[in-house]
Structure 1
Amino acid sequence: MKILIADDSRVMRQIVIRTLRQAGHGGHEIVEAENGREALELVHTEAPDLVLSDWNMPEMNGIDCLAALRAAGSTVAFGFVTSEGSDEMRQRADAAGAAFLIAKPFTPEAFDDALRSVL
């Protein structure tokens, strides 16, 4: 399985990768993007099975990336890993077609629960 991690913070991308391993989801091929625009391009060139995206990023945010993917007909599984965990954000993510939203700070258990629905 190939997982695309989109976050403008390199450190946060590494934390997400580490948490995936801790949740028992290590061993997957990982592709990284620094913003939503790069993630959008990588979905087309790398064909990941899952996108884990931050919400707030420069150039293109996560929700706009998801909307662009869905508008282009992409059905790639997409989940948010973000500090934006309000009910409103969760509703927006769900309405846009996200499979889940994991709010920071997160645990390996939260990752495992969310990923079980898409793996």
Structure 2
Amino acid sequence: MRGARLARLLAVQHLADHGIPHTSRGSRAVVVVLAEFAANAISHGRTSGRDFEVRVDLAPDTIRIEVTDTRPDRFPRTPADGGLPELPSLYATSGRGLLLVSATADRWDWSVRDNCTKTVWAEQSLHP
């Protein structure tokens, strides 16, 4: 999971370099979303010998986070697909990440880029 941690740190530093402080709403949203997307890419989207790719794009009023992995055959359920999975039991150690993404990001979804990769993305407004 060192790759996921490094991705978060680099993304937050990238935002800070463009005037978006670590403590801002946008930066905090990037941390939550990127943590989940990168962890999922490592846990569920990994193909031996290949890694995931992170992209953070800044528009005047929006941040877009993209994580591309190498498993286009495995994809998350989104609200557009009919909703997210039910809440896990209180004692479950996983299964809440995409619920956090839905609560944090303004919108998110995924797409298959080609026969070798898929991209999961989220967008967050910089202004409330």
Q: TM-score range by the shorter chain?
A: 0.3 to 0.5
Scaled by the length of structure 1, the TM-score of the pair is 0.35
Q: For the pair shown, which has the larger CA radius of gyration, 1 or 2?
A: 2
